[in-house]
Amino acid sequence: MTMNISATKAGYWDFGGGQRIARLGYGTMQLTGPGVMGPPADREQAVAVLRRAVELGVNHIDTSDFYGPHVANEILKEALYPYDGLVLVTKVGAKRNAAGDWLPALGATELREAVHDNLRRLGLDRIDAVNLRLYGLNGPEEGSLEEQFTVLAELREQGLIRHLGISNATPAQLAEAQGIAPVACVQNYYNIVQRSDEAFVRQCAEQGVAYVPFFPLGGFQLIADERIGKVAERHGATIPQIALTWLLTRSPNLLAIPGTSSLAHLEDNIAAASLRLSEDDLADLEPLAG
Ligand SMILES: NC(=O)c1ccc[n+]([C@@H]2O[C@H](COP(=O)([O-])OP(=O)(O)OC[C@H]3O[C@@H](n4cnc5c(N)ncnc54)[C@H](OP(=O)(O)O)[C@@H]3O)[C@@H](O)[C@H]2O)c1
């Protein structure tokens, strides 16, 4: 069964105009210790998960130097350097303190240092994409990103970054960012039960911007709903698989980056690229909009 699974079965997206990526990717946030702090319980397995993801067709990997901090990037380098054929996307704009709190790090110097930290830790001269992670405790908050995005646009001009993105952002912030430099991707909280960005997803699609939902499986609280369970049963699938297939069905610009520390979950997630939802399935899942 695992011989036939491939991330490419959900098709491709032309990332930033020029980089062809499988729409089912991988996010590294689960490769650290508890609370996204410190080393994982099983580092060898973390390395194995990344290598297996690539063997199974994943070529889009989302990461950040603030996962661990540094831990996820160090494991990514150990597993996959020199990243042949891969598109690595990182994010800057936050930092961790010793207690593990997530704090904003949106000053010009902090942003520059964060990009350099990512490059150094990953062993790169240039990274494929950097998302500006905006601070909003309970989701995106309006406010100008001109100062911060200009810093990243300058680093892009210098050749350190190929593409730019924004995260935890609003449509107005996308428009403002596009006035400064091209935007390849938006990374916001969205999944089968959390659809407040529905119009934003469509707007990004109309503009050729990738929409990359974080917490595609619910993040710290795994999605569990018996209505998804019923659809899953029809396909002999799991709820996380249906949640991923639903995302991939929703819009062609939607790229999935589920995170896992488990080889079995990784293979389940990649197998979701082969599932196809019927009109009846989609109708049964529609009431989950929240
Ligand atoms: N821009 C941002 O602000 C932001 C915020 C959060 C995350 N992200 C990015 O988005 C990526 C995805 O988000 P996420 O990893 O936080 O959340 P997620 O993908 O929604 O869910 C991860 C959780 O689901 C479990 N899981 C994964 N596959 C499973 C399966 N097939 N069956 C059962 N459980 C499964 C994982 O546990 P196991 O390890 O046990 O599988 C983990 O607890 C991250 O890795 C990160 O790159 C970005």
Calpha distance 78→80 (Å, rounded): 6
Other residues' Cβ atoms within 10 Å of the Cβ of residue 249: 16
Parent domain of 209 = 2-288
For 152-198, the pLDDT digits (tens) are 999 999 999 999 999 999 999 999 999 999 999 999 999 999 999 99
To the nearest whole number, what is the mean pLDDT of the chain? 96
Can you give the CATH number for the domain in which 177 is found? Answer: 3.20.20.100
* pLDDT, mean of residues 276-282: 98
Closest alpha carbon to 183 in 171, 191, 194, 195: 171
For 14-43, the pLDDT digits (tens) are 999 889 999 999 999 999 999 999 999 999
Domain count, the chain: 1
Ligand 1 centre from 158 Cα, in Å? 33
For 61-98, the pLDDT digits (tens) are 999 999 999 999 999 999 999 999 999 999 999 999 99
Find the residues whose C-beta lies inside 6 A of ligand 1: 27-30, 62, 91, 133, 167-168, 187, 214-219, 222, 238, 240, 257-262, 265, 268-269
Ligand 1 centre from 146 Cα, in Å? 30
Handedness of CA 245, 92, 262, 2 (dihedral sign): positive
81 catalytically annotated: no
Q: Return the pLDDT at 1.
A: 47
For 221-262, the pLDDT digits (tens) are 999 999 999 999 999 999 999 999 999 999 999 999 999 999
Q: Return the pLDDT at 3.
A: 58
Q: Return the pLDDT at 136.
A: 85
Query: CA 77, 48, 46 angle in degrees (round to 5)?
Result: 70
Ligand 1 centre from 99 Cα, in Å? 21
* β-sheet bridge partners, residue 163: 129
Write down the catalytic residue from 26, 67, 83, 211.
Answer: 67
